[in-house]
Amino acid sequence: MDTIANLSDKFSWRRMMSIGLIFKGPVRLYLLLTAIITFACYAFVQLCIYLGGNEISAYTLMSLIVGVMLYLGPLTFAKRDATMMTLLPAKAVEKWLFYMLFSLVAVPAVVQGVWYGCDYAYAYLTSGEPFYEMILSRYNLKEAMLGLDNRFFLVCINLVQTSSLVISILYTVLRSTRHRVIKSLLTLVAVMLATGLTSALAGVVVAFNELADKPDITPDQAVNLINNMYPIFGFVYGLLAVYSIVMGWLCYRQIAKGEVKA
């Protein structure tokens, strides 16, 4: 590995990946734990469907558990030695990118890969349909709730929300010197509450304007109402995307602040 004295060259992927050697144990453990929990949650949902239970409630609960595992990926770095990381012969941007790639790419890839891999494998083996498609068709959500196919919009919202939560927790882990786990959990709750309350408030405002003079709401009006909420949610999550970019920059500043200057 390069020494601190000769880090004036260009960005090095080799140096960035070598950071992983320091966290090899925690990274492997967290990814394995995430894969096991994701598989167990998917299996529980399918068991609930097989036994005739409420699959929506089961899916909601299991999604929350899987989501928490996804959001808390940065806790992998909670036990890092600050002095060792400062003296590590790697640039701040290389350390920052490693943290970001693990938290925003590696962990979500394991979660999505295990969940959808199991889903499509189960559908293939049972000659059925994937869970997501089954829910859409069984409850007619695509037509009755979404109107036009807004999957891309919903995927973007999900990506923005996930990024904001993960980066917020990463910043908490990088900035805190004590009680990183507790502070990270509090950060997760705070950002989720702020996002949920903002979206709920926006929805209430739209609903009040749309239904103020309508004592009875028809199915068509309900679809109209939901479709009219998309621009509001787009604005809210646009602000959240800006917040994620700012927090990502603050993460980099936090890493660079403690670097040893050559």
- pTM assigned to the model: 0.81
Whether 35 has a pLDDT exceeding 80, the answer reads: yes
Amino acid identity for residue 249 in this structure? W
Exposed / middle / buried, residue 210 (Cβ in 10 Å: 0-12, 13-18, 19+): middle
pLDDT at 206: 58
pLDDT at 104: 94
pLDDT at 143: 46
pLDDT at 28: 92
Exposed / middle / buried, residue 94 (Cβ in 10 Å: 0-12, 13-18, 19+): buried
| pLDDT tens sequence across 7-21 | 556 777 888 888 878
Widest CA span of the chain, in angstroms?
73
Per-residue pLDDT band at 235 (split at 50, 70, 90): confident
Whether 152 has a pLDDT exceeding 50, the answer reads: yes
The secondary element (H helix, E strand) that includes residue 174 is: helix 151-175
Q: Look at residues 24, 175, 1 and name the one whose alpha carbon lies nearest to residue 88.
A: 1
pLDDT at 102: 94
pLDDT at 228: 65
More confident residue, 201 or 63: 63
Tokens of 92: 């701040």
Q: Where are the beta strands (DSSP E) in the chain?
A: none
pLDDT at 147: 47
Could you tell me if residue 262 is inside a domain?
Answer: no
| pLDDT tens sequence across 87-101 | 677 788 888 999 999
Q: Indicate the length of the chain as a whole number.
A: 262
More confident residue, 86 or 225: 86
Q: What does each C-alpha distance from 51 to 170, 235, 241 come to in angstroms?
A: 40, 41, 41
More confident residue, 208 or 197: 197
| pLDDT tens sequence across 176-201 | 888 888 999 999 999 888 877 776 77
More confident residue, 214 or 32: 32
| Domain residue limits at 216 | 4-257
| pLDDT tens sequence across 84-139 | 676 677 788 888 999 999 999 999 999 999 998 988 888 888 877 777 666 656 55
Tally of domains in the chain:
1
Per-residue pLDDT band at 208 (split at 50, 70, 90): low
Report the alpha-carbon distance of residue 104 to residue 71 in Å, rounded: 9
CA angle (219, 220, 225) in 5-degree steps? 95
Could you tell me if residue 165 is inside a domain?
Answer: yes
Report the alpha-carbon distance of residue 160 to residue 69 in Å, rounded: 17
pLDDT at 50: 81
Whether 78 has a pLDDT exceeding 80, the answer reads: yes
pLDDT at 24: 86
Report the alpha-carbon distance of residue 73 to residue 181 in Å, rounded: 11
Whether 148 has a pLDDT exceeding 50, the answer reads: no
